[in-house]
Amino acid sequence: MSHTEPAMLEARELKKSFNGHVVLDGVSFSIARGESVVIIGRSGSGKSVLLKLLIGLLRPDSGEVWVAGENISTMDERQLMRVRKRFGMVFQGAALFDSLTVAENIAFAFRHDRTISQSEIERRVAEVLEMVDLPGIQNKKPAELSGGMRKRVGLARAIVYKPEIVLYDEPTTGLDPIVADSINQLILRVRDRLGVTTVVVTHDMRSARCLAHRILMLHDGRIYASGAPDEFFASTDPVVRQFIDGVSNPKEVYF
Ligand SMILES: Nc1ncnc2c1ncn2[C@@H]1O[C@H](COP(=O)(O)OP(=O)(O)O)[C@@H](O)[C@H]1O
Ligand SMILES: [Mg+2]
């Protein structure tokens, strides 16, 4: 056995095209246990595709994803199910089921799980709702919640399984800056209290600065630049500068 711990999450030369359109053209990086990494890139640069590859919802055309020393790219669906339990994912939007209550949404992943009792599920749901500062809203429906509250419920659902890695897809997109900041604080709280490895995809540079130990920039299908936030924001590379300054310009809107 090696004395160095394997990376929590590793992408090796990932390539992915759709109908001849190359989205990812050799993406490689390694994320240590407990690290938080923010992946930035323009709309359409392949950020959501990359997250889906990392969690095994999409398969790469070539390249590999390694999770805690296991290559998931060759796994069948049953093996992938086991690995996915190590992940929590907060989807873009929040993706709650409107017909279900908050508690039912959060406990959705337990619906086929015979190993956990109803009272334990209820205890866990209450615990994660407290973690996201929404205690007692179990019986509300998503339609009764504000955008920020829905994001919090999405976050609660992502951590109820006690994941080791949490992936966030644009967690602050569409929120006003004050609500966005409160979501960022929650992401940090979850990271620090649960000790999870955190991967955030965003084009919000404020969030990137606030959340990242390390920023990776996806551009032209590859990791074009990377570094600690201070280093990254001081970059003189024209492509990096254009991205940082462009998305900081409030007159421009990026979706
Ligand atoms: N399932 C799919 N089928 C076909 N094209 C897709 C699919 N998913 C994503 N794409 C394409 O891949 C590109 C990157 O998409 P995406 O990862 O969603 O970008 P981002 O999240 O960076 O805005 C886009 O051109 C998108 O249209
Ligand atoms: Mg996306």
> pLDDT tens across 130-151, in order?
999 999 999 999 999 998 999 9
pLDDT at 93 over 80: no
Residues with Cβ within 8 Å of 198's Cβ and at least 6 positions away in sequence, in order, are 35, 36, 37, 165, 166, 168, 187, 190, 191, 211
Q: How far is the CA of 117 from the centre of ligand 1 (A)?
A: 39
Among the atoms of ligand 1, which is closest to the Cα of residue 42?
22
pLDDT at 7 over 50: yes
**Residue 151 phi, psi (nearest 5):** -60, -40
| Chain segment 201-244, per-residue pLDDT in tens | 998 888 999 999 999 999 999 999 999 999 999 999 999 998 88
Q: What pLDDT score was predicted for residue 255?
A: 41
Is any ligand 1 atom within 6 A of the Cβ of residue 18?
Answer: yes
| Chain segment 68-89, per-residue pLDDT in tens | 999 999 999 999 989 999 999 9
Is any ligand 1 atom within 6 A of the Cβ of residue 49?
Answer: yes
pLDDT at 252 over 80: no
Is any ligand 1 atom within 6 A of the Cβ of residue 203?
Answer: no
Is any ligand 1 atom within 6 A of the Cβ of residue 44?
Answer: yes
pLDDT at 254 over 60: no
pLDDT grade, residue 4 (50/70/90)?
confident
Q: What is the mean pLDDT of residues 44-48?
A: 95
Q: What is the mean pLDDT of the chain?
A: 91
Within the chain, what is the greatest distance between any pair of CA atoms? 56
Is any ligand 1 atom within 6 A of the Cβ of residue 36?
Answer: no
Q: How far is the CA of 203 from the centre of ligand 2 (A)?
A: 9
Q: How far is the CA of 102 from the centre of ligand 1 (A)?
A: 29
Q: Which has more pLDDT, 65 or 5?
A: 65
The closest residue, in CA terms, to atom 24 on ligand 1 is 44
The closest residue, in CA terms, to atom 16 on ligand 1 is 46
Ligand 1 pocket test, pick from 48, 53, 223 with the greatest ligand atom count within 8 Å of Cβ, gives: 48
pLDDT grade, residue 253 (50/70/90)?
very low
The closest residue, in CA terms, to atom 10 on ligand 1 is 18
The closest residue, in CA terms, to atom 25 on ligand 1 is 44
Could you tell me the pTM of the whole model? 0.92
**Residue 201 phi, psi (nearest 5):** -105, 130
Q: Which residue has the tokens 């007159």?
A: 251
HSE (side-chain half, CA atoms, 13 Å) at 52? 14
Q: What pLDDT score was predicted for residue 198?
A: 97
Q: What is the Cα–Cα distance from 147 to 94, expressed in whole angstroms?
A: 9
Ligand 1 pocket test, pick from 42, 43, 49 with the greatest ligand atom count within 8 Å of Cβ, gives: 49
